[in-house]
Structure 1
């Protein structure tokens, strides 16, 4: 997927808003994760499938490469189905473009250089379609945690900018369309803006922010979004100072705070909780490596008994005369797993009226949450009235 750069497209939201975080992160190892490796694998499989479709991979080579890919530890039916959703979406875009343009350029995993605006800046476009009038950029997201929107997404806009710089001299590009395909969350998000608007953003917003970030200047702007994947989030002083501002309430009981004070605490409570968890995780890792924190120690956690070799256990029990009913437990599969076995249509027909979905427990979230608010009949407004 390419080498890492200081001002990467994937971290653009962070260094555009929290300029100083880019240089601060250099003090921390840029480690990978199982989720990142799984995402890389999904991109490889998607590239292979689409490469075959557009003729970039010959059939004989495709079969060999597919066999190798299927031996990967991440290959399973769920991953394959997710990639197929992306491939189907990509093919739909390709065919629509071919109808309107005789000779579109179709590129897979294309390196896109936007160093004209961001020093040493580059990224990789999963799918780039260039035609007269329109530039299409598609990004596959393998995550199943948080839904990602293409609207005003700086990572997508950087990819589009790199493609525009590369192909604008060959095609008269007026519109730029960016799509994020996130199969595991049934999320396909598309955002369009004019080439003129994209270039204005690059000149007025991107370029000055990138220069500040490169120089290690500008501001720290800790927030839920800038801190989430920042390598320095556990020990960042700016984040600590922001969260410790809440200490002025001296941890008074909620009933002793005004409604405005409660609202202020609520607006930062989630960030404070995450910050505390990040610090704990960082300190725990350091302690396990030998660092000493006064008042804390490393202990062995509770463990559960486990079979060393299940096949040997089954063999021994069978030889001892125990029946399958005594050895094995039979449980009804979960709804999602059973639906996969039967197929959605058969599942709906056979189990019609037997599947229920009770209302979820009420919970309070911020206004940024996309779920519909519940209309309640009661109100606690009077509880927060201040004495005059």
Structure 2
């Protein structure tokens, strides 16, 4: 059976929100009072996950999910307005990674697809659904498919709390059946360059994490502990716009500077950039919430909702253009010939055909310099001219 991604229930202490409730324990109860509003990006990710599940299920269990069923399933998926042809390629990358992992093992492994795991022994009523679990050669593999494409949304496997909770639940389920000494977490995020992240630890290290979870989950389930507002913990929290701890922290970062020398140092700039990372994001969240309050007829002192600058549009463009051409206006001046962008052409033609036909005609223009955290995997650049480059320029 397929996983039914859309209709899944979520635990209070869900694995997907573990990065939040583990480090900001009161947030789990605080955000309960706010509705979970799904975004288009989330719906798109759900669709891609369903396709990925179908492919993996067909590969490992063709008797239950045949090629014919897969073809029919994909045909139906293509009717969805969020369907994108590139989903086929990206889910193939996920399947290839899983196949490679399974084939590299000495013996035939146990494979579970979209399996609900119970980690309630570590977090009260905790459960979640792991994309793929593979057990073999004494190693428990947890493989997760991410469909996000924003570099800011890059997810790494190292110490990943979501996958670690899945691993704890899987270990409890399979420890009697299979010898497990090591745990390997992997995230496949194919829409990003270098989108595969892996991390391995011993079973002892995983169980040590489990003890940490027990202590934090005990606080989180009661809504106790200290708030820990941070760009990462607040990013998807449903209470992020009204949370007082986040508000106070950002106001302090923005205004409470104290008496300081007239010029800041590079060291101070680095610290402040880290400290104020969430300030701009918080302002946008707060403005969005205040606007919704005003539109609902509630009072936000000092602020009000107004109609933004409007725009004109045709009630019936075809009829308007016909009226103009019937009146003697040349139709050619009413239209503008505009080429598709490179990315749009690639999407229309298909990546493989595009590469074969015009791949050699594509040049890569480097992006503008951007300031990112030191942990970013991209190599650092500088505008300093080296001696070698200087002599080249002279020649």
TM category, shorter:
0.7 to 0.9
Q: Deviations over 1:18-71 (max 9, x none)?
A: 111111111211221111111111111111122222213034433332322221
Match of 2:65 in 1: 57
2:9 corresponds to 1:3:
yes
**Is 1:371–2:378 an aligned residue pair?**
yes
1:126 aligns with 2:128: no
Contact 2:10-2:128 within 8 A present in 1 as well: no
Say if 2:154 is the partner of 1:147.
yes
Whether the 8 Å CA contact 1:49–1:87 is kept in 2: the answer is yes
Question: Aligned ranges for residues 196-275 of structure 1 at < 5 Å?
Answer: 196-203=204-211, 205-246=212-253, 247-249=255-257, 256-259=262-265, 262-275=269-282
1:357 aligns with 2:346: no
Structure 1: distance between partners of 2:324 and 2:232? 54
Q: Deviations 1:177-199 (Å, cap 9, x if unpaired)?
A: 11111111130111111122111
Q: Does 1:76 align with 2:81?
A: no
Distance change in 2, residues 1:317/1:17 (3 Å): same
The match for 1:383 is: none
Distance 1:76 1:41 in 2: 10
Q: d(CA) in 2 for partners of 1:318 and 1:175? A: 74
Structure 2 SS opposite 1:94 = helix
Displacement of 1:316 after TM fit? 6.8
Q: When the two structures are aligned, how many residues end up with a matched partner?
A: 368
* Secondary structure of 1:208's aligned partner: helix
Q: Distance in 2 between the 1:291 and 1:171 partners?
A: 59
Q: 2:188 aligns with which of 171, 181, 200?
A: 181
Task: State which of 76, 90, 104 in structure 1 corresponds to 2:98.
Answer: 90
Identify the match of residue 35 of structure 1 among 18, 36, 41.
41
For 1:106, what is the secondary structure of its paired residue?
strand
Structure 2: gaps of 5 or more residues:
386-395
Could you tell me how far apart the structure 2 residues matched to 1:42 and 1:160 are?
A: 23
Length-normalised TM-score, structure 1: 0.86
Contact 2:291 2:304 survives alignment (8 Å): no
Instruction: State which of 6, 9, 12 in structure 1 corresponds to 2:18.
Output: 12
Question: Per the alignment, do residues 291 and 201 of structure 1 end up closer, same or farther by CA in structure 2, a change over 3 Å counting?
Answer: same
- 1:294 aligns with one of 301, 306, 318: 301
- Using a 3 Å threshold, how does the CA distance of structure 1 residues 319 and 152 change in structure 2: closer, same or farther? farther
| Deviation readout 1:326-358 (Å, 9 max, x if unpaired) | 454322332323345352243232x26xx3515
Could you report, residue by residue, the CA deviation over 1:270-298 in whole angstroms, capped at 9, with x for unpaired residues? 21111111111111112112212222221
Residues 13, 155 of structure 1: 8 Å contact kept: yes
291 and 346 in structure 1: CA distance in 2 versus 1, 3 angstrom threshold: same
Between 266-275 and 279-288, the greater mean CA deviation after superposition: 266-275
Return the offset for 1:157: 0.6
Q: Please report the TM-score for the alignment, with normalisation by the length of structure 2.
A: 0.84
Residue of structure 1 in register with 2:359 after alignment: 348
Q: Distance in 1 between matches of 2:93 and 2:322?
A: 42
Does residue 168 (structure 1) correspond to residue 175 (structure 2)? The answer is yes
Alignment CA distance shift 1:255-1:168 (3 Å): same
